[in-house]
Amino acid sequence: MLLLVTDTSGKNGTVAVARTGERGANDDAEVMEVVPLAGGMFSAQLVPQIAALLQKHGFNKADIGGFIVVSGPGSFTGLRVGLAAIKALAEILGKPIAAVSLLELIATTSRVHGKVVAVLDGGRGEVFFGSYAIAGESVQVLREELLSKAEFLSAARESTVATPDSNLAAAAREAGITVSEVEAPGAEMIARFGWKKMQAGNNVSPEQLEANYMRRSDAEIFVKTGSSC
């Protein structure tokens, strides 16, 4: 199966094509090529880059068997653009979508069992925070939200913190919290994690695909602030 893998959650993004074999449940997704997307230009780049990448490898959109897309947390504009493109393609082709939470991916990548907290820098002095209970292949989402650094450290005290961010890892260690530093999620990690979700039937329809921004857009913040004056 050919998979299209997109991540527009950060300042920069990626689009990739991955291929799976025919070995069934133990099959893995192998990324064929990753193309970077420049920040601030996702709306202009994403669809042309998808078309060029497919053409380069001798495919067209009809060959896509499924979509793996990062649904958050991250940039409001980036996620909105990325998910809109995948919604449209998936609806036209009638193919499944696996939505990937970067926080859940980080938590599972740590290979720690029990209560795991995954964190990413949310900017503006805030932290993207996800708490999970992991037992074998089972992952239970306990909470995902935007916290201050102090709130994150307080909420993580009975957990292992998993993060690719060295500054957040250092802050957790200084607070006496166990830390598992992991690799920053890239296209290959996203593809493999999304493919496992797809194999398990954890797919969403285009109508069900939603971004997990965690933070409101600047426009929403401005409107709310203005309405209270």
Concatenating the DSSP letter of every residue in 31-94 gives: EEEEEEE-TT-HHHHHHHHHHHHHHHTT--GGGEEEEEEEEESS-HHHHHHHHHHHHHHHHHHT
- Distance (Å, whole) CA 7 – CA 10: 8
207 and 173, same domain (yes or no): no
pLDDT > 70 fraction of the chain, expressed in percent and rounded? 92
Question: Tell me, what's the pLDDT at 59?
Answer: 97
Mean pLDDT for the stretch of residues 26-50: 91
122 and 191, same domain (yes or no): no
Both tokens of 72, joined, read 């958050």
User: How much of the chain is helix, strand and coil, in % rounded to 5?
Assistant: 40, 35, 30
92 and 14, same domain (yes or no): yes
Q: Has residue 24 got a pLDDT over 60?
A: no
Q: Has residue 102 got a pLDDT over 80?
A: yes
DSSP class of 26: G
- Phi, psi for 202 (deg, rounded to 5): -90, 65
Mean pLDDT for the stretch of residues 82-110: 97
36 and 48, same domain (yes or no): yes
189 and 92, same domain (yes or no): yes
Q: Which is more confident, 24 or 100?
A: 100
53 and 97, same domain (yes or no): yes
In a domain, 139, yes or no: yes
Burial classification of residue 199, based on how many CB atoms lie within 10 Å of its CB (0-12 exposed, 13-18 middle, 19 or more buried): middle
For the chain, give the mean pLDDT: 92
30 and 70, same domain (yes or no): yes
Q: What is the pLDDT of residues 179-220, one digit of tens each?
A: 999 999 999 999 999 999 999 999 999 999 999 998 754 444
In a domain, 223, yes or no: no
The CATH number that applies at residue 177 is: 3.30.420.40
Mean pLDDT for the stretch of residues 72-83: 94
Boundaries of domain holding 146: 111-181
Q: Has residue 67 got a pLDDT over 70?
A: yes
Strand bridging mode 64-72 / 97-101: parallel
Torsion of the alpha carbons at 185, 189, 190 and 192, rounded to the nearest 10: -170
Question: Tell me, what's the pLDDT at 40?
Answer: 84
80 and 128, same domain (yes or no): no
Q: Has residue 22 got a pLDDT over 80?
A: no
Q: What is the pLDDT of residues 154-170, one digit of tens each?
A: 999 999 999 999 999 99
191 and 95, same domain (yes or no): yes
- Distance (Å, whole) CA 81 – CA 220: 17
- Distance (Å, whole) CA 225 – CA 133: 36
Mean pLDDT for the stretch of residues 123-144: 95
Paired residues of 14 in beta bridges? 7, 36
Q: Has residue 125 got a pLDDT over 50?
A: yes
In a domain, 172, yes or no: yes
The number of domains in the chain is: 2
